[in-house]
Amino acid sequence: MKIGFLGNTNNYPFIIASQMREMGCEVVLYIDAPANDTLHRPEHHASNIKYPYPEWIKENFSLRNAAFTHFPNIFLRKLLRELNTCDAVILNDYGHRFKNFIKPSVLSISMFSGGDLEIMADYDNVRKMKMVNPKLSGVPDFIKKAYAVFSVNQLRKGISKASLISYFPKGMIPNGEKFLSEIFRGKSFSRFNHFHIITEGFNYVAPPENKIFRIFSFTRFMWKTPFPPGRTIYENKGNDIMLRGIALFLKTYDKRLDIHFVEKGLHLQESKNLIDELGFADMVTWHKEMPFKDLKYHISKADIVFEQMGKHFVSGGLYAMLMGRPLIANARPEIFEPLLNEPTPICHALTEEDICNWLHKLTSDTELLYSIGKRSREYVLKHFDIMNETLYFKNFIQEKLAN
């Protein structure tokens, strides 16, 4: 089979494309991110991918141009010709709308990363984004509003033609469920619940014997409401809860911590200000955004890792669990425990008191630290291996083609 991939948010599609190639499929993957955009470039994720790319990975910076992605039949004919030679396409981000320009005989899977449904399929949110877009400052308001409606309609139409939807489990993001319901208008559709990561190359690493207990969090700082247009409340990471919980622990137990954060997120400066206000800035080391190999290094050097405490869900923190690190986060047990039929090993925390209590337990009990870390790895290997998603896609496409 030949499978085309368009849209590569957080390298998630790249991982599935790589695994499909290993299974014998012919694959073509388009990359639009510039060289310094480490989140969406394969060479920053996988050590076996070097730049310039192998033939199956194609750069196309025109995909960053809104006019080109809205009218690929005019501006991106060569790309469309390539996709039309595929048996199936797996679409992400702006890629969903390309199904409108691809032959009906080519199967499509709409694989969502979050904002491509929760934001870009939301008429109100897209309208607000167009109204404040500096590139459209000279455009009359009525044209901006019409452009927003056109953009959302085109995206929704492409999604409605998908043979399979790959999205987060039901109940996790209510707005996303609402938009899917509107897009399919009561028609049934095939769906896969995705929340997976690549597990290969992430070996268990025993916690280091740090003289000062070391914390690491690579979650972006996004917590101060109201959020600007183009963002939803479900992106709230609750970093302020984490910071206040750390401060409560320091005050209650009079222990020092070695705290490591990554400088990224909409509310980075507000977070630094809050840390100053809470009085533990001298314990914090800040790191620039980093490629995956450096992220693995910092996880291995930490005793525990923090993830989101807000209305989002654990994602990158799964890598820390895979390496045997206890993870303090809002585990969303109301979603995952019934779905997976297993209690979560995540140190579930919703309040600063929860965080303080977990820090006290984990800094005081080495046996507990090791035990949770090992259980965490087993849990991720069992339920979150992205190979499960790749195999599902491959089998789904084969069945559809056979029929």
Q: Please indicate whether residue 69 or residue 312 has the higher confidence score (pLDDT).
A: 69
Residue 102 falls in which region: left (phi positive, over 0), alpha (psi -120 to 50) or beta: beta
Residue 118 pLDDT: 92
Phi-psi region of 38 (alpha: psi -120 to 50; beta: other; left: phi over 0): alpha
Q: What is the pLDDT of residue 297?
A: 96
The model's pLDDT over 112-165, given as tens digits with 9 standing for 90+, comes to: 988 899 999 999 999 999 999 999 999 999 999 999 999 999 999 999 999 999
Name all contacts of 189-193 with Cβ < 8 Å and 24+ positions apart.
Answer: 189/162, 189/164, 189/165, 190/163, 190/164, 190/165, 190/396, 191/164, 191/165, 191/166, 191/167, 192/164, 192/165, 192/166, 192/167, 192/389, 192/392, 192/393, 192/396, 193/167, 193/168, 193/169, 193/339
Residues 6+ apart with CB under 8 A from 200: none
Q: pTM for the whole thing?
A: 0.89
pLDDT at 189: 93
pLDDT at position 291, please? 83
356-383 residue pLDDT tens: 999 999 999 999 999 999 999 999 999 9
pLDDT of amino acid 312: 81
Residue 232 has pLDDT above 90, yes or no: no
* Mean pLDDT for the chain overall: 95
pLDDT(278) > 90: yes
Mean pLDDT of 9-38: 95
- Rounded distance, CA 334 to CA 235, Å? 18
Residue pointed to by tokens 């600063």: 352
In degrees rounded to 5, what are phi and psi of residue 62?
-65, -20
Q: What is the mean pLDDT of residues 211-215?
A: 97
Interval 22-28 mean pLDDT: 97
Nearest to 33, CA basis, from 53, 4, 54, 47: 53
Name the band, by pLDDT with cuts 50, 70 and 90, for residue 200: confident
